[in-house]
């Protein structure tokens, strides 16, 4: 661990950096999956979903950056190469041949929900370790992506 302005002990910071990197891998994978949906969507809902998916991707990119910077601030490193993400992400692979609008909606909803499971687990660990700043970071992600998941699920009803 590198030096950090954090008041937390090095052991706690190491655990936090590890969980932040796990969420970074999932977030980078999810971002690429959202972009695949954005680029390849076809169907009657195209005009509404194409820009919505881009909004999801932009918001997630900002969260990914914040998550990576938090890991480094705590004295760790941020791991985010495509090869690392391919081995570390907990999300299922995205079927590259998907084209229909509502298929993309269903696939993204499932992946948002899986992503949220990991973010909530990381938030719980952050609470246990007494890092309220990282808890706040993860709470922001949960709040935004629960809303996004709701948008997608509402589109399927």
Decide: 21 and 13 in contact? Cβ < 8 Å.
Answer: no
Task: Kindly report the pTM of this predicted structure.
Answer: 0.96
Decide: 89 and 32 in contact? Cβ < 8 Å.
Answer: no
Return d(Cα 127, Cα 11) in angstroms, integer.
15
pLDDT tens-digit map of 55-110: 999 999 999 999 999 999 999 999 999 999 999 999 999 998 998 999 999 999 99
SS3 state of residue 100: strand
Q: Assign domain 10-156 one CATH number from 3.40.630.30, 3.30.2000.10, 3.40.47.10, 1.20.1260.10.
A: 1.20.1260.10
What confidence category does residue 31 fall into, taking pLDDT thresholds of 50, 70 and 90? Answer: very high
Return d(Cα 32, Cα 57) in angstroms, integer.
8
Q: How much is the average pLDDT of 147-154?
A: 97
Q: Is 4 left (phi over 0), alpha (psi -120 to 50) or beta?
A: beta
Q: What confidence score (pLDDT) does residue 63 get?
A: 98
Place of tokens 């081995």: 87
């Amino acid at each position: 661990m590198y030096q950090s302005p954090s008041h937390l002990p090095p052991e706690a910071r190491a655990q936090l950096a590890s969980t932040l990197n796990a969420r970074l891998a999932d977030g980078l994978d999810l971002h690429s999956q959202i972009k695949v949906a954005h680029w390849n969507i076809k169907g009657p809902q195209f005009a509404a979903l194409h820009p919505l998916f881009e909004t999801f991707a932009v918001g997630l990119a900002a969260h990914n950056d914040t998550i990576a910077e938090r890991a480094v601030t705590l004295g760790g490193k941020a791991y985010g190469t495509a090869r690392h993400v391919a081995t570390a992400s907990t999300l299922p692979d995205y079927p590259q041949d998907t084209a229909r609008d509502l298929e993309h909606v269903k696939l993204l909803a499932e992946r948002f929900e899986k992503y949220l499971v990991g973010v909530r687990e990381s938030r719980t660990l952050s609470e246990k370790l007494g890092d309220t700043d990282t808890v706040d970071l993860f709470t922001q992600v949960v709040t935004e992506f629960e809303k996004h998941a709701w948008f997608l699920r509402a589109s399927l009803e």
